Protein backbone atom coordinates (compact mmCIF):
# COMPACT_ATOMS: atom_id res chain seq x y z
CA UNK A 1 0.00 0.00 0.00
CA UNK A 2 2.00 2.96 1.24
CA UNK A 3 5.26 1.35 0.09
CA UNK A 4 4.07 0.78 -3.48
CA UNK A 5 3.33 4.39 -4.25
CA UNK A 6 6.36 5.73 -2.51
CA UNK A 7 8.68 5.93 -5.53
CA UNK A 8 6.43 8.59 -7.06
CA UNK A 9 5.85 10.57 -3.93
CA UNK A 10 7.36 13.95 -3.41
CA UNK A 11 10.17 14.47 -0.94
CA UNK A 12 7.70 16.29 1.24
CA UNK A 13 5.49 13.21 1.60
CA UNK A 14 8.51 11.05 2.37
CA UNK A 15 9.59 13.54 5.00
CA UNK A 16 6.15 13.40 6.56
CA UNK A 17 6.18 9.61 6.63
CA UNK A 18 9.70 9.50 7.99
CA UNK A 19 8.85 11.99 10.66
CA UNK A 20 5.69 10.07 11.58
CA UNK A 21 7.52 6.76 11.98
CA UNK A 22 10.62 8.14 13.65
CA UNK A 23 8.84 8.25 17.01
CA UNK A 24 8.39 5.13 19.15
CA UNK A 25 5.02 6.25 20.58
CA UNK A 26 3.66 6.86 17.11
CA UNK A 27 4.86 3.47 15.87
CA UNK A 28 3.16 1.96 18.90
CA UNK A 29 -0.10 3.77 18.12
CA UNK A 30 -0.02 2.36 14.57
CA UNK A 31 0.46 -1.15 16.02
CA UNK A 32 -2.29 -0.83 18.59
CA UNK A 33 -4.82 0.44 16.08
CA UNK A 34 -4.24 -2.46 13.68
CA UNK A 35 -6.53 -4.75 15.63
CA UNK A 36 -9.43 -2.36 15.50
CA UNK A 37 -10.26 1.23 16.11
CA UNK A 38 -9.30 2.80 19.42
CA UNK A 39 -10.45 6.10 20.82
CA UNK A 40 -7.88 8.82 21.41
CA UNK A 41 -8.79 8.83 25.10
CA UNK A 42 -8.18 5.09 25.34
CA UNK A 43 -4.80 5.57 23.63
CA UNK A 44 -4.00 8.45 25.96
CA UNK A 45 -4.50 6.13 28.95
CA UNK A 46 -1.78 3.85 27.60
CA UNK A 47 1.02 6.42 27.59
CA UNK A 48 2.54 8.59 30.30
CA UNK A 49 1.53 11.78 28.50
CA UNK A 50 -1.41 14.10 28.21
CA UNK A 51 -4.47 13.60 26.03
CA UNK A 52 -3.39 16.60 23.97
CA UNK A 53 0.08 15.13 23.40
CA UNK A 54 -1.40 11.83 22.18
CA UNK A 55 -3.84 13.70 19.98
CA UNK A 56 -0.89 15.53 18.43
CA UNK A 57 0.81 12.20 17.67
CA UNK A 58 -2.38 10.92 16.05
CA UNK A 59 -2.58 14.03 13.88
CA UNK A 60 1.01 13.48 12.67
CA UNK A 61 0.14 9.87 11.78
CA UNK A 62 -3.06 10.92 10.07
CA UNK A 63 -1.21 13.47 7.91
CA UNK A 64 1.28 10.76 6.91
CA UNK A 65 -1.63 8.55 5.84
CA UNK A 66 -0.81 5.81 8.34
CA UNK A 67 -4.05 6.04 10.33
CA UNK A 68 -7.52 7.41 9.80
CA UNK A 69 -9.47 9.32 12.42
CA UNK A 70 -13.23 9.38 12.61
CA UNK A 71 -15.43 11.25 15.01
CA UNK A 72 -18.25 9.24 16.56
CA UNK A 73 -20.27 11.01 19.20
CA UNK A 74 -17.82 12.49 21.66
CA UNK A 75 -15.08 10.05 20.72
CA UNK A 76 -12.39 10.27 18.07
CA UNK A 77 -11.67 6.78 16.77
CA UNK A 78 -8.28 5.93 15.30
CA UNK A 79 -7.66 3.02 12.97
CA UNK A 80 -4.81 1.54 10.93
CA UNK A 81 -6.48 -0.19 8.05
CA UNK A 82 -4.40 -1.76 5.30
CA UNK A 83 -5.77 -4.38 2.95
CA UNK A 84 -6.32 -7.70 4.74
CA UNK A 85 -4.97 -10.01 2.06
CA UNK A 86 -1.92 -7.83 1.72
CA UNK A 87 -1.37 -8.13 5.44
CA UNK A 88 -1.57 -11.91 5.39
CA UNK A 89 0.93 -12.14 2.57
CA UNK A 90 3.12 -9.57 4.24
CA UNK A 91 3.17 -11.60 7.46
CA UNK A 92 4.32 -14.72 5.67
CA UNK A 93 6.91 -12.67 3.76
CA UNK A 94 8.20 -11.30 7.05
CA UNK A 95 8.41 -14.75 8.52
CA UNK A 96 10.12 -16.05 5.41
CA UNK A 97 12.81 -13.38 5.40
CA UNK A 98 13.42 -13.87 9.13
CA UNK A 99 13.92 -17.60 8.62
CA UNK A 100 15.99 -17.21 5.46
CA UNK A 101 18.34 -14.92 7.35
CA UNK A 102 18.51 -17.42 10.22
CA UNK A 103 19.30 -20.29 7.87
CA UNK A 104 22.10 -18.21 6.35
CA UNK A 105 23.56 -17.61 9.79
CA UNK A 106 23.21 -21.31 10.66
CA UNK A 107 25.05 -22.15 7.46
CA UNK A 108 27.80 -19.72 8.36
CA UNK A 109 28.24 -21.25 11.80
CA UNK A 110 28.30 -24.79 10.41
CA UNK A 111 30.92 -23.75 7.85
CA UNK A 112 33.02 -22.24 10.65
CA UNK A 113 32.83 -25.52 12.54
CA UNK A 114 33.56 -27.64 9.51
CA UNK A 115 36.81 -25.79 8.80
CA UNK A 116 38.19 -27.49 5.71
CA UNK A 117 35.31 -29.93 5.12
CA UNK A 118 32.99 -28.83 2.32
CA UNK A 119 33.72 -25.13 2.44
CA UNK A 120 31.35 -22.31 3.47
CA UNK A 121 27.91 -22.27 1.94
CA UNK A 122 28.53 -25.23 -0.35
CA UNK A 123 25.27 -26.86 -1.47
CA UNK A 124 24.68 -30.36 -0.12
CA UNK A 125 24.36 -32.05 -3.50
CA UNK A 126 23.40 -30.37 -6.75
CA UNK A 127 21.95 -33.62 -8.10
CA UNK A 128 19.20 -33.59 -5.44
CA UNK A 129 17.78 -30.17 -6.15
CA UNK A 130 15.87 -31.06 -9.33
CA UNK A 131 12.88 -32.47 -7.45
CA UNK A 132 12.31 -29.12 -5.77
CA UNK A 133 12.40 -26.81 -8.75
CA UNK A 134 8.77 -27.41 -9.72
CA UNK A 135 7.52 -26.24 -6.36
CA UNK A 136 9.71 -23.16 -6.55
CA UNK A 137 7.79 -21.83 -9.53
CA UNK A 138 4.60 -21.36 -7.49
CA UNK A 139 6.35 -18.82 -5.30
CA UNK A 140 6.31 -15.82 -7.62
CA UNK A 141 2.84 -16.54 -9.02
CA UNK A 142 0.89 -14.96 -6.18
CA UNK A 143 2.37 -11.45 -6.48
Partner 1 sequence: MTVTRVDKDVDHLTLTLVADFTAPVEQVWRLWADPRQLERWWGPPGYPATFEEHDLTPGGGVRYCMTGPEGEKFGGWWRISSVTPPTVLEFTDGFSGEDGTPDPEMPTTSVTMTLTGRDGGTRMELRSVFDTREQMERLAEMGMVEGLSQSVAQMDAVLAG
Q: Give contact residues for partner 1 (rule: CB under 8 A).
A: 2-3, 6, 11, 14-15, 17-18, 21-22, 27, 30-31, 34-35, 80, 82, 84-96, 98-110, 113-114, 117-118, 121-125, 128-129, 132, 135-136, 138-139, 142
| Residue 50 or 94 with smaller CB distance to partner 1 | 94
| Positions of E strands within the chain | 38-39, 68-72, 75-79
Closest CA to 60 of 11, 32, 18, 1: 18
| Residue 50 or 92 with smaller CB distance to partner 1 | 92
Closest distance of CB 143 from partner 1, Å: 11
| 8 Å CB contact between 29 and 63 | no
Closest CA to 65 of 5, 120, 125, 128: 5
| 8 Å CB contact between 142 and 135 | no
Closest distance of CB 73 from partner 1, Å: 26
Q: Which residues contact 80 (CB under 8 A, 6 or more apart)?
A: 30, 31, 33, 34, 66, 67
Closest distance of CB 80 from partner 1, Å: 6
| Residue 30 or 44 with smaller CB distance to partner 1 | 30
Closest distance of CB 121 from partner 1, Å: 7
| Residue 50 or 93 with smaller CB distance to partner 1 | 93
Amino acid sequence: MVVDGMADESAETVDRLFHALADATRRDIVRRCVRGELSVSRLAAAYPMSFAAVQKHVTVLERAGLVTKERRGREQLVRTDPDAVGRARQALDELESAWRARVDRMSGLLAEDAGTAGGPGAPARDADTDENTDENTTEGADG
